[in-house]
Amino acid sequence: MKLNTVQLIKKRILYIYAVAAIGMTLFFISCGDDDSPANKKPEIQNQNFAVDENSAADTQVGKVTATDAEQGKLTYSITAGNGDGYFAINGGNGQITVAANADLDHETTGSYSLTV
């Protein structure tokens, strides 16, 4: 049997035409991808937390919640807004806490915007 043509079309159906000595046979193989990406990014919504000024180290600020469409294990990190290092995040569960030596003073800085 000799394969003559292989085509891939948008709906991810692969057409294979095979020619045998006694005639032509047509095979349909569906890949089932639906043009969706191999890995969808996790979803996280804006969240607001409050913490008292002058809070001690390890004071819990809030727990970041996110979802993963593939039910994969998520890890968390603060990627922006923590230039002074006043906050820490537990990479495994998203819990934000006040970092050691943080100087939270409402009169100096009224709010922080962290990117996780």
The whole-number average pLDDT for the span 13-33 is 54
Q: Is the pLDDT of residue 1 over 50?
A: no
pLDDT (0 to 100) of residue 56: 94
The whole-number average pLDDT for the span 74-80 is 93
Q: What CATH number belongs to 42-109?
A: 2.60.40.60
pTM beyond 0.75 = no
pLDDT (0 to 100) of residue 32: 52
**pLDDT, averaged across the chain:** 79
Of the two residues 11 and 116, the one the predictor is more confident about is 116
CB 6 within 8 A of CB 15: yes
CB 102 within 8 A of CB 82: no
Q: Can you give the residue ranges of every domain in the chain?
A: 1-32, 42-109
CB 49 within 8 A of CB 36: no
The whole-number average pLDDT for the span 78-82 is 93
The CA-CA-CA angle for residues 20, 23, 28, to 5°, reads 75
The percent of residues in the chain predicted with pLDDT above 70, rounded, is 67
Comparing 7-21, 75-89, 96-110, the range with the smallest average pLDDT is 7-21
